[in-house]
Structure 1
Amino acid sequence: MSHSPELHASLGDGLSSRQVTMISIAGIIGAGLFIGSASAIATAGPAILISYALTGFLVLLVMRMLGEMAVMQPDSGSFSTYASRALGPWAGFTIGWLYWWFWVLIIPVEAIAGANILHAALPAVPAWAYTLSIMTLLTITNLFNVKNFGEFEFWFSIIKVVAIIAFIVVGMVAVAGYWPLARISGISRLWDHGGFMPHGSGAVLSGVLITIFSFFGAEIVTIAAAESKNPGQQIRRSTNLVVYRIALFYLLSIFLVVSLVGWNDPQLKEQGSFQYALNVLNLPGADILVSTVVFIAVCSCMNSGLYTASRMFYSLAQRGDAPKAGIRVSAGGVPRVAVLCSTLAGFAGCLANYAFPGKVFDFLLSTTGAIALLVYLTIAVSQLIMRRRLEQSGQTPAFKMWLFPWLTLFTIGIILLVLGYMFISPDYRYETLMTGAVAVIMLMLSFYVTRKRTAQQASRSKMQPQRGTMPTTR
C-alpha cells in the first residue's frame, strides 16, 4: 500500500533556534507600533506611556503564565489546548476559533495596508493587484515548508529590530541636544501641552485598549516553538526576553516620540508617529525609510498571522473541532489544508473590504480588540486551574509563574476591569457587544459539536458487539 506524503499526522521541527529567537524578539513589533501608536498618543497624550507600561506589564504576566503551561506541554494549539484541558472542550473550541477569527481578519488588514504603501509609490498598478500579489506570495511561502515561514520572519525581524534601534539612537541624540539637523532638546513636551495627563485618568484606560492590539502576537512564539527542537528551552528563553522587548521597543521608543513632538500636533496622526518625529528632525529620506520599514512590518505581521491561523486550525482539527481534512500534513511538515482555509478566509476579508468599503469589514474588525483581552483572560484562568491541579498531585512546574496565585488573580482582575470599562464606555460598547455576540455563537456551536460527537460515539458503542461474544439473531 502506498503512502501519500499528505498523510503525516504531526507537524515537524523545521524551525531553527535562530528563527524562533528572532520571531520571539520581534514578534510584537508590527505596524501598530509604527502607525497605530500615533492614535494612541492622541488619545491619552504623554500619559500613553502609562498605558504602554500597564499593557506591557499585563502581557509580561500573561506570557509568564502561558510559558509555564507551554514548557510542560508544548503544543501548536497553545492556550486553546490548555483551555480544553483546564475548562473543558467547549472553552478550547471557543477560544481557538475566536483566535483564528482574529488572525484571518488581521491578514487582509495587513495585506491592504501593504498594498496601499506600494500603490502610493507606484500608482500605475491598482491597489487590489498589490493586495492579491502579497497574499499569494506569502501563501506560497507558508505552503511548502515551515522553514520558508521561519526564514522570511527571521529577516523581517532583523530589519524591524535594526530600524527601532536606529530610531532610538537618533532620538536619544536629539533629546540630548546634539542632533545637528534640528534644534530640539529636552523632554519638556511631556508636559508643555496641557500637562502629562491632559485627558484625565480615563484616557489611560482608553490607551490600554488601543495598545493591547499592538502587543497582541507575543504568544505566537509558544506556537512556533512547538515546531522546533527543544521547544521547552525555546519557550523559556523567549518568555524571559519579553520584559526587555517591551521596555526597549515600546516604552523607550514612544517616550522619545512624545519627547520630540507635541502629542496634539495634527501632523502626528496624518504622518504616523515615527515618520513625523524623523521629519521634525529633518532626517533626509525619512518618508521612504519609514514606509519601507512599515511595509516590512506589515508583511511580517501578515506572514505570522497566516502561520498562526493555520496552526490553530490544525490544532482544532486534531481535537475534532474543525474539519478532519485540517490535520493533513505534507512531507515538509506543513498543514496545507489549514493554510489554504486560513488564506481563503483572508481573501474573503479583502473582497469584503473592496466590495463594501468602510462597512462589512469594519463591522467584523470591531471585534478584534476585545478578542485579545478574552484570549489573555482564558490563558490566566487556565493557568490558575492547571497549576492548582498540578500542586494537588504533588508536582511543581519547571518554569513557574511568579507569586502564584496572587499575580494570576491580579491579572484576571485587571482584564475584567478593562473589559468592564469597555462595556460602560460609549466608545467601546459596540465592540464589546459584537465580541460577546461572536463568543455566544461560538459557544452554541461548541455545545452542538460536542453533543453530536458524544451521541455518535455512544451510538457506535451500542452497535459494536462486545469482544468474545456473538451478536444474537432471532
Structure 2
Amino acid sequence: MENESGLHRGLRGRQLTMIGLGGAIGTGLFLGSSLAISQAGPATIIAYIACAAVALVIGWALAEMVVVHPQAGAFGIIAHRYLGPWSGFVVRWTYWTVQVIAIGGEVIAGGIYVRFWWPSLPLWVPVVVFSAVVLITNAVAVRVFGEVEYWFSMIKVAAIVVFILLGILLITVGLPGAEATGTAHLTAHGGFLPNGINGLSLAIVFVLFSYVGVEVVSVTAAESENPARDIPRAARRMVTRLALFYIVAITIVLTVVPWTTTAQGGAVTESPFVRVFSAAGIPAAATIMNFVVLTAALSSANTNLYLTTRMMHSLATGGYAPAWTGRLSGSGVPRNALALSALGLALAASLSAASESEAYLALFGVSVFGALVVWLLILATHWAFRRTRRIQGLPPSPVQLWGAPVTSLLAMLFLAGALVSTLFIAPLRPAWWAGVPFFAILSIAYWMTSRRSKALASAEKPI
C-alpha cells in the first residue's frame, strides 16, 4: 500500500516502537555518557531524569501533531503549515544535516568499539565496512529495513535489561570473583555533586543528545500501516522505556565504578558500560557488552540513515531539494536521497583517517547544536498548532500533551539554556562557529529557492 507521496506503508506497530528505540539508544548513552559523567559525576543521574522529562514533552507533542498530519516529512511539513514555509524549510534541512553528521558519529563509535578487541586496527577500516552495511540495509524495501532494525534494537534492549540485572546483583550481593560494591561510589570522590551546579548544567548538554531520536516515530508516520493507532502508542512506549533504561543504567554505571574512572578524563576511547564489567573482573561479560554497544551504534546509524533519506525525499517533493532526490525505486525506496544522505558516512571515514582521537567529539558538537534548534522549532510548531486549531474551531487532536502549553514552554526554556551552555564547553564551542553561519546560509537558500518557485509558477500561468 502506498501513501500520497509514493512511499510504501510497510511498517508495523511493533517495528515502529523498536525503530524509535533504535534511533535513540545509540552512542549518546553507550559512549557519550562518559562525557556527561566527566562534567557532573554521580549527579549525571539528575541530568538524565530532567532530560527524560523534556524528551517526554517532545515525544508527546509530536504524537499530538502527527496523528492529525501523518505525512512524509513529519514535523517539517507541520512546521511549514503552522509556522510558515521558512520554518518548514529550515527545520527539515537542519534535521537532515544534523542526522547526516550523527550517522558519521555512530559509525565512528562502532569503529572505536571494534578496537576494544583489536587496538592496533586503523579506525577508518571498520568505519568503511559499517558504512557499507547500513547503506545496503537502507537500499532494500522498507519492510525489510523495518525487520532488520527491529532485531537490531531488540538485541540492545535485551542487553540493557541483562546489564541492569547483573548490575543490581553486583551492587547488592556481588558476583563470582567480585564483591558487592554497595552505593559508596555515589558519594565518594568529591561527593554526589563534585563539580557543583555548573558541572550539572554542562552535563545536561551531553545527556540531551542521548535522547535525540525521540522524533523518529513521527518521521515513520508516512510508512506506517495505521498511523492514527500506531504512532501515539509507539511514542508512549518508546519515551517511557527510553527514560527507564537510561536512568537505571546510568545509575548502575555510577554505582559500580567510581565516576572518576568512568569519566576517562573526558576522552572517548571505550564505553563506560564495558568499563563496568571490566572493573568487576568479568572479562567475558565485557566482551559481550562491547558487542552489544557495537550493535547499538550500527542500529542507530541504520535508523538515522532512514530518517535523513525520508527527510530529503520530503524536501524534494516540496520543491526545496533537487527533484532527482525525490525519485523512488521500484520497491518504494528514495535511493537518490539515500545516496546524498550518505555524505555523513564519507565524512566519518575522512575524519577517522585524519584525526582518530577527536573524530567523535568533532561530529558530536555540530550535531548537538542543530538538534537543540530542531527541538525548539518542534515545540514552537506545537504551540502554533494548538493555537491555530483553536482559532479555526477545529477539533483537538485525539492525543493531547499533558499540561500544554505550560509544559512545552518550560521545555523550550530548558533547551534554550542548554544551547547557551554549549558556549562554555570548549570542545562544543566551535559548533556555534559553524551553526550560526549555517542558519544564515539556509535563510539565503530559502529566499533563492522560494523566488525561483514563484517565478516558475508565474511562467506556467496561462495568459
> TM-score scaled by structure 2?
0.92
Partner of 1:401: 401
Partner of 1:453: 453
Distance 2:221 2:126 in 1: 32
Distance 1:21 1:422 in 2: 31
One-letter amino acid matched to 1:176: T
Partner of 1:199: 195
1:172-251 paired onto structure 2 within 5 Å = 172-251=168-247
- Tell me the CA shift for residue 262 of structure 1: 1.0
1:371-410 paired onto structure 2 within 5 Å = 371-394=370-393, 395-410=395-410
Distance 2:380 2:408 in 1: 8
**8 A Cα contact 1:212 1:372, kept in partner:** no
**8 A Cα contact 2:124 2:352, kept in partner:** no
One-letter amino acid matched to 1:58: V
Structure possessing the higher radius of gyration over alpha carbons: 1
| Residue 43 of structure 1 pairs with residue 51 of structure 2 | no
| Residue 80 of structure 1 pairs with residue 70 of structure 2 | no
- Residue deviations 1:283-329 (CA, integer Å, cap 9, x gap): 24133112211211111111112111100000000110101112211
Assess, with a 3 A threshold, how the Cα gap between structure 1 residues 268 and 172 changes in structure 2: closer, same or farther: farther
- Tell me the CA shift for residue 452 of structure 1: 2.1
Assess, with a 3 A threshold, how the Cα gap between structure 1 residues 441 and 152 changes in structure 2: closer, same or farther: same
Which has the larger displacement, 400-409 or 340-349?
Answer: 340-349
Q: In the alignment, which of 28, 31, 36 is matched to residue 32 of structure 1? A: 28
| Residue 288 of structure 1 pairs with residue 287 of structure 2 | yes
**8 A Cα contact 1:9 1:327, kept in partner:** no
RMSD: 2.4
Q: In the alignment, which of 85, 104, 109 is matched to residue 100 of structure 2? A: 104
Assess, with a 3 A threshold, how the Cα gap between structure 1 residues 78 and 25 changes in structure 2: closer, same or farther: same
- Tell me the CA shift for residue 344 of structure 1: 4.2
**8 A Cα contact 2:79 2:87, kept in partner:** yes
Assess, with a 3 A threshold, how the Cα gap between structure 1 residues 361 and 414 changes in structure 2: closer, same or farther: closer
- Tell me the CA shift for residue 119 of structure 1: 5.4
**8 A Cα contact 1:40 1:211, kept in partner:** yes
- Tell me the CA shift for residue 430 of structure 1: 3.0
Distance 1:319 1:39 in 2: 39
Q: How many residues align structurally?
A: 456
- Residue deviations 1:377-399 (CA, integer Å, cap 9, x gap): 00100000011111112221111
Secondary structure, counterpart of 1:321 in structure 2 = coil
Secondary structure, counterpart of 2:342 in structure 1 = helix
> Percent identity among equivalent residues?
33
- Tell me the CA shift for residue 32 of structure 1: 2.2
Partner of 1:5: none
- Tell me the CA shift for residue 45 of structure 1: 0.6
- Tell me the CA shift for residue 243 of structure 1: 4.4
Distance 2:131 2:426 in 1: 36
Distance 1:75 1:419 in 2: 29
Assess, with a 3 A threshold, how the Cα gap between structure 1 residues 411 and 324 changes in structure 2: closer, same or farther: same
**8 A Cα contact 2:96 2:312, kept in partner:** yes
Distance 2:355 2:119 in 1: 22
Which has the larger displacement, 445-454 or 102-111?
Answer: 102-111
Structure 1 runs not aligned, ≥5 long = 1-7, 466-474
Secondary structure, counterpart of 1:201 in structure 2 = helix
1:4-83 paired onto structure 2 within 5 Å = 9-83=5-79
> TM-score scaled by structure 1?
0.90
